[in-house]
Amino acid sequence: MSIQTNVAVIGGGPAGLAAAIAAAKQGAQVLLIEREARLGGILKQCVHDGFGVLRFGEKLAGPEYAQRFLNELRQTNIQILTQTFVDKIKPHPLGWKINLVTAQGMRQAFAKAVVFATGCRERTARQIGIHGTRPAGVLTAGSAQFFTNILGQLPGRRCVILGSGDIGMIMARRLTLEGAQVQGVYEARGTPSGLPRNVAQCLHDFNIPLHLRKTVTRCFGYPRLEAVEIASVDEHMQPIAGTEERVDCDALILSVGLIPENELLETLRVPIDPVTRGPVCDQYGMVEPGLFCCGNAAHVNDLVDYVSESGEIAGAAAASYTEQPEQQHAQITAGQGIMYAVPQRIALPAQEIPLYFRVKEELGKSRVVIRVGETVLAKKTYLALRPPEMERIMLDLSQTTLQEGDEITVEVQPL
pLDDT one-digit tens code per residue, 282-317: 999 999 999 999 999 999 998 999 999 999 999 999
Domain boundary among 303, 321, 339: 321
Element (H, E) at 313: helix 304-319
The domain spanning residue 43 has which CATH number? 3.50.50.60
CA-CA-CA-CA dihedral for 127, 236, 162, 204, to nearest 10: -150
Domain count, the chain: 3
How confident is the model at residue 1, as a pLDDT? 74
Residues 182 and 209 in one domain: yes
Amino acid at site 358: R
Residues 19 and 4 in one domain: yes
Residues 249 and 203 in one domain: yes
Residues 49 and 150 in one domain: no
Supply φ then ψ for residue 341, to 5 degrees: -135, 140
How confident is the model at residue 347, as a pLDDT? 94
The domain spanning residue 340 has which CATH number? 2.60.40
Domain boundary among 273, 299, 321: 321
Residues 313 and 233 in one domain: no
DSSP string for 24-72: HHTT--EEEE-SSSSSSGGGGG--SS-BTHHHHSS-B-HHHHHHHHHHH
What domain range is 332 assigned to? Answer: 328-415
Rounded CA separation 111/7 (Å): 6
- Rounded to two decimals, the pTM is 0.93
Per the DSSP assignment, residues forming a β-bridge with 184 are: 160
23 touches 321 (CB < 8 A): no
Residues 333 and 212 in one domain: no
Amino acid at site 321: Y
Residues 129 and 151 in one domain: yes
By the 10 Å C-beta count (0-12 exposed, 13-18 middle, 19+ buried), 294 is classed as buried
217 touches 130 (CB < 8 A): yes
Confidence of residue 128 (pLDDT cuts 50, 70, 90): confident
Contacts of 174 (CB under 8 A, 6+ apart): 47, 48, 145, 148, 149
pLDDT one-digit tens code per residue, 67-125: 999 999 999 999 999 999 999 999 999 899 999 999 889 999 999 999 999 999 998 87
Residues 246 and 133 in one domain: yes
Supply φ then ψ for residue 203, to 5 degrees: -105, -60
228 touches 245 (CB < 8 A): no
Residues 74 and 132 in one domain: no
How confident is the model at residue 11, as a pLDDT? 97
Residues 185 and 87 in one domain: no
Domain boundary among 266, 287, 321: 321
Q: Kindly give the interhelix angle for 62-73 and 304-319, rounded to the nearest 10 degrees.
A: 20
